[in-house]
Amino acid sequence: MFALVHVVIVFLFFYGPMDSTITTGKIIIVTAPSGSGKTTLVKRMLAAYPTLAFSISACTRKPRPNEEHGRDYYFFTEEEFKRLIDENAFIEWEMVYTGKYYGTLKTEVERIWSNGQAPLVDIDVQGALAIERQYPESALSLFIQAPSMEELRNRLIKRGTETPETLEERIKKAEWELTHAKYFDAIIINDDLDKATEELINTIKDFPDKTL
């Protein structure tokens, strides 16, 4: 089973400049293979738009040091997670590893909406496509990628966190993810971080006027 090497971000966006009011009903989905620079772009978006709120995902893995339930993740046992599945509590969910589940709770997104903020949800490619299917008239999907597989490999190597085996796992997974880029509304090439940030912001700002 491949590692969870990509993330997707889903959030409601508001029309206009950063101090504008939120336009409800819009969902933006962002996904990226590991090494594409998604994390930095997410931080920039959160810093630029205080009306965005990070939507906390649910999972069945054990908390890591310094992680807290309700802050980093909602940590559940496998039994609890399956009960939530039966209760239709998730917008999307997936078993990433055997017995290791991740998902986006409806209550988490609704909590953020009720606060007048835009939820920013961290999910994977399959979750992104599932959300697109659920919200076909209100979703804008964005795929972030490195300029080339060679550059992606170089970025992963520079991290210094990969073994040869996990590096190849991530590369193989990235190749699979890239075959799904065509299903997204826009592709952002993160060759220059500032340009990618500007392109991302401009694409999202135009979204309220888009007819899906």
Average pLDDT for runs of 10 along the chain of length 212: 42 38 59 87 79 86 91 95 97 84 90 79 82 80 92 92 88 92 93 92 68 36
**Residue 92 belongs to a domain with what CATH number?**
3.40.50.300
212 within some domain: no
1 within some domain: no
Contacts of residue 10, Cβ cutoff 8 Å, sequence gap at least 6: 27, 28, 29, 30, 55, 104, 119, 120, 121, 123, 128, 131
Number of domains in the chain: 1
Residues spanned by the domain of 72: 6-207
For position 208, what pLDDT does the model report? Answer: 55
**What is the reported pTM?**
0.73
For position 25, what pLDDT does the model report? Answer: 57
140 within some domain: yes
For position 175, what pLDDT does the model report? Answer: 94
How confident is the model over 174-200, as pLDDT tens digits?
999 999 999 998 999 999 999 999 998
For position 143, what pLDDT does the model report? Answer: 93
**164-178 and 149-159 helices cross at what angle (nearest 10)?**
140
**Whole-number Å distance between alpha carbons of 45 and 49:** 6
Look up residue 122 and give its two tokens: 């961290």
196 within some domain: yes
| DSSP-derived secondary structure letter, 64 | P
